[in-house]
Chain A
Amino acid sequence: MSDTSTSDEQTFYSSYPDSDIRLVFQAVIDILPLALAVVPWGVLCGSLAIEAGLTPLQAQCMSLLVFAGAVQLASLSIIGAGGPLSSILTSSAVISSRHLLYSAVLREDIKPLSLAWRCLLAFFLTDEMFAITVAFKARYNIFSPLYSLAVGFMFYLVWNLATLAGILAGKLLPSLQEYGLEFAIAATFIAIVIPGVRSWSVLGAVLASGLTALICEWFKVSQGLIIATVVGMACGFLLSFREEKV
């Protein structure tokens, strides 16, 4: 009976990869779907950076150094609107704060590693790398630094190539946004968020955050992202106490 509950993936990877090369190969295969999904978003990031007034070198360096799609897009819209540095940094911190959670979850696995490994894995820690790493851990009950590094690096490579494409295309097609590339971002986030809605408290957090974001955007409230995130978190937090009583 237990066989019926196992997912499709488990039949694909029944045995643990027995060599480093196979481990890296599997990492590449596992991250590929998410890496492909991020391409339109990277292209948008590159072209928006040019439009916001960054030089091509700055635009590429933003992806090379910051390596955070949501942070980059939010900052670029502030830069494009001529907003202050403080708004850029505040929104960057709020959007990045979810990585604190990922960092905390992986802490016990990564803390024993050398400084170089810890820095590398931290640098490559994204929503996607975290999701794939957690799935790998669930599958084999083991954490592999090499596997996670390969996943992170592959994603980094695709992200930066997509940014480069956006920088080049942005010069040729100045109104790249009109192609609706931002829909790809919405689709990616929906695909990440919705499967995680497995309790009333998460549903409450999502609905509260979404509604608040909509109201803020509608009334053109600045820092709407931060307000919506805090409202969503507070709502989920409060609902979680009710769940425990049931």
Chain B
Amino acid sequence: MTTSWWTIFLMAAITFYCRYLFFTTAISFSLKGPIKRMLQYTAPSVLTAMWVPIIFIHDGNLTSGLDDPFLLAGIVTVVMSVVTRHTLLVVGVGIGSFVLARMLLGQG
């Protein structure tokens, strides 16, 4: 199947619309009440729904346990992010531990 340029343009329209919506002067809408309360859980929920399957599921199977570099390095990254708020340090140590785990487990 060849991908249509329309797919890309429509995706771009959607992402731009979500970013621009509240910058318009046309709507005199201030976010209050339940909607605002609900929206504050959007980012953690959607981001978590993306990282959890990467760490725990491989080729449709649940992680094999502590011999899985994804799970091991995932644990290291979570611990790091609790300890320090330096994003680059967290990501760097996380990726480093992933590479190391793959090498040590003979999967790299």
Contacts and interface: CB of A to CB of B under 8 A. Distances in A.
The answer to whether A and B assemble together is yes
A66 B18 CA distance: 12
B66 interface: no
Nearest to A219: B60
A186 B41 contact: no
A205 B17 CA distance: 25
B23 A107 contact: yes
Contacts of B88: 33-34, 36-37
Contacts of A202: 41, 44
A118 B20 contact: yes
Chain A contact surface mostly: helix
A37 to B, nearest CB: 4
Contacts of B69: 180, 183
A82 B1 contact: yes
Given A65-B12, A190-B77, A240 B45 contact: no
Interface in A192-207: 192-197, 201-202, 205-206
Between A54, A99, A107, A111, the greatest number of chain B beta carbons within 10 A of the residue's beta carbon is seen for A99
B57 A218 contact: yes
A143 interface: no
A212 B8 CA distance: 29
B23 A206 contact: no
Interface size class of A (residues with CB under 8 A): 35 or more
Contact of B21 (A52, A100, A121, A213): A100
A125 B18 CA distance: 10
A223 to B, nearest CB: 11
Most A CB atoms within 10 A — which of B12, B17, B43, B81?
B43
A240 B69 CA distance: 35
A123 to B, nearest CB: 6
B contacts with A: majority SS: helix
Interface stretch (A12-20, A84-92, A162-170): A84-92
Contact of B19 (A62, A88, A123, A218): A123
B78 A194 contact: yes
Given A125-B19, A214-B56, A183 B45 contact: no
A237 interface: yes
Contacts of A40: 95
Interface of A: 33-34, 36-37, 40, 52-54, 58, 61-62, 65-68, 70-72, 74-75, 79, 82, 85, 88-89, 92-104, 106-107, 110-111, 118-119, 121-123, 125, 127, 180, 182-197, 201-202, 205-206, 208-214, 217-218, 220, 224-225, 228-237, 240
19 contacts: A75-B11, A85-B10, A89-B10, A89-B14, A99-B15, A107-B30, A118-B24, A123-B19, A185-B51, A186-B51, A187-B98, A189-B47, A190-B81, A194-B82, A209-B52, A213-B49, A225-B46, A229-B45, A233-B38
